[in-house]
Amino acid sequence: MFINFILTLFKSNAVMKWKYIVVTLGAIMVIAFLASNQIEMRRRGAENFKKFEQASIKGQLDRVYYEDRCVAFTLKNGEKYVFAPFKAYRLKFFDTTYNPSFNKIAAQGDSIIKQPCSDTLYLKKDTITYRFTFTE
C-alpha cells in the first residue's frame, strides 16, 4: 500500500497535485498568522488606549520609545503608557505652524500632565508647554 502511494507520487500528474496542495496549505498558514497577529495588535491597542484615556497622569518622564506602532513612555514612578499623538503646538506662543512629534521633543525629566478622560496631554519642557492630542 505504501509502495503504491510512493509510485503514484512519481507520476507527473500526482506530483503537480501535491505541489498545489503544499503551496495552498502554506498560503493558508501565512494568512492565518498575519490575521492572528493583526487581531492581537488591535486588542493590545484597545487595552493601551483605555488605560491611557482613563489615567490621571502627572509626573516626570523617565523614558520615551516606540511600542506597537505608537509612542510609549515610562514615568519616574514606573507607570507605563502607550498612545498615538497626532497634533502638537507650543502653548506659550500659540504657534500652530510648529508641529513636533512627541518622541522627538520629549526627554527624560520633562513633565507630563493629563486629566482622566481628556483627549489632551501637556508636555512641559523647560519654559515651553506643548499640547498633544491623540487618537485610539
What is the full DSSP assignment across the chain? -HHHHHHHHTSHHHHHHHHHHHHHHHHHHHHHHHHHHHHHHHHHHHHHHHHHHH--EEEEEEEEEEETTEEEEEETTS-EEEEEEEEEEETTTTBSS----HHHH--TT-EEEE-TT-SEEEEEETTEEEEEEEE-
- Residue owning grid cell 491623540: 134
Distance CA 8, CA 11 (A): 5
Provide the residue range defining the domain that includes 49.
1-136
Q: What is the pTM of this model?
A: 0.66
Q: What is the pLDDT of residues 59-110, one digit of tens each?
A: 999 999 888 778 889 999 999 998 887 655 555 555 555 667 788 888 899 9
Which residues contact residue 14 at a Cβ distance below 8 angstroms, ignoring those fewer than 6 apart?
8
Q: Mean pLDDT, to the nearest integer, of 28-42?
A: 92
Split into its structural domains, the chain has a count of 1
12-54 vs 2-9: helix crossing angle, rounded to 10 = 90
Q: Are 49 and 79 in contact (CB under 8 A)?
A: no
Tell whether the model's pLDDT for residue 45 goes beyond 80.
Answer: yes
Tell whether the model's pLDDT for residue 35 goes beyond 90.
Answer: yes
Distance CA 59, CA 108 (A): 11
Give the phi and the psi of residue 34 in degrees, each rounded to 5. Answer: -65, -40
